[in-house]
Amino acid sequence: MRVKANEAILASGFLGLMITLFLAFNWAPSVNINAFESPESQRIFYWHVPAAWAAFIAFAVLFVGSALWFFKRSSIGWKMHIAGSEAGLACGLMAVWSGCVWGAAEWGTPWDWEDWRLNTFGLLTLLALFLVLGRQSQPDGVETRDTFSTFGLYGFVLVPLTYVATRIWVIRHPGPVIAGEEGSSISSEMGLVLLIGAISFTTLIIGHILTSMEITKFEQRLERLQKELDGE
């Protein structure tokens, strides 16, 4: 059986995720039990942060794809838009879900409607959900692609806003881990597991995006063939 490159990347990303989970639960040190309400639940951080990181990569792909379609009418751009929105939705939901689990254990509430980072990231995930569900509800055409690309372009404004949100309006969410301030440093073992998680999620998301683009290519080919059969 011939294994394609995107399938191999997807599988290695998945394997990396398994390793990350194993290390997170069995090897990574516990945080200071006096500094947290629920120290053990902090281990979900090794899943949550890489998932959010991968979501941002997916949203960047969505943005580039949207721009390529909107300004250049690029077919590859539209495939990137679809792949980016699907991957952004998957990783966004993973980050939101794991964040809610941690929030419920640490803060006593899964969600804070007044926390800017939670809400802007939640909106990004809802935007991805809107793009995925909305696109499936419409016939493919320039009108559909233009409208969803516009949302993809405007939605990307939320990415830098989400990143800087904890610096400007700190309410509950911890500060940035990647490229954060001096006080946000973590131990080397924690950093290693986090790095493995980030690499695994990045690999997985690349594999997912490549696979999704290939599926879209086949769908478009099928659509063309159906139109040929219809005599259009």
Partner 1 sequence: MADPVLQLDNVTVRRGMGVVLDNFSLTVNQGECILLEGENGVGKSTIIETAARLLPMESGSVRHHGAVVCDAEGRRIKPPKSFGLTLQKNCLIPSQTVQQRLNNVLALSNRTLDLTGIIESYKIANRRNDKIAHLSGGQQRKVAVISGLLPGMVCEDSRLILLDEPDTGLDDDSVDCLIEHIHMLRNLGHAIVIASHDSRLRQCATRLYNFDASSIQQPNHNATWQVKSDTAQHSFLMTKIGWQLNFDTLVSLQTNWLAALLIMGTLLSIADPLTLSDNELILMGFALAPAFGMGLVGDSVFKILQEQRAIDWWRAQRNNVPNSYFESLLSGILITTIAMQIFIQSVDYQVVIIGGLITLTTSFAVRFLQLSTVRLARSNAVFIRLLTPILILPWGIIVDYCAKL
- Taking the C-alpha atoms of 31, 116, 111 and 18 in order, what is their torsion angle to the nearest 10 degrees? -50
Identify which of residues 4 and 221 has a Cβ nearer to partner 1 in the complex.
221
Contact between 143 and partner 1 by CB under 8 A: the answer reads yes
Q: Is residue 231 a contact residue for partner 1 (CB under 8 A)?
A: no
- Give the residue, chosen from 2, 5, 141, 182, that forms a contact with partner 1 under the rule CB under 8 A: 141
- Residue closer to partner 1 (CB basis): 9 or 158: 158
Widest CA span in the chain: 72
User: In the window 106-125, what residues touch partner 1 (CB under 8 A)?
Assistant: 113-114, 116, 119-120, 122-123
139 makes contact with partner 1 (CB under 8 A): yes
Q: Is 134 in the site for partner 1 (CB under 8 A)?
A: yes
SS3 content of the chain, % helix, strand, coil (to 5): 80, 0, 20
First-to-final CA distance of the chain: 37
Q: How far is the CB of 136 from partner 1 (least distance, A)?
A: 9
* Tally of helices (H runs) and strands (E runs) in the chain: 7, 0
Nearer to partner 1, 36 or 163 (CB): 163
- C-beta of residue 178 within 8 angstroms of C-beta of residue 162: no
Q: Does 138 bind partner 1 (CB under 8 A)?
A: yes
> CA angle, 5 as apex, 76 and 8 as ends, to 5°?
125
Binding site for partner 1 (CB under 8 A): 113-114, 116, 119-120, 122-123, 126-127, 129-130, 133-134, 137-144, 146-147, 150-151
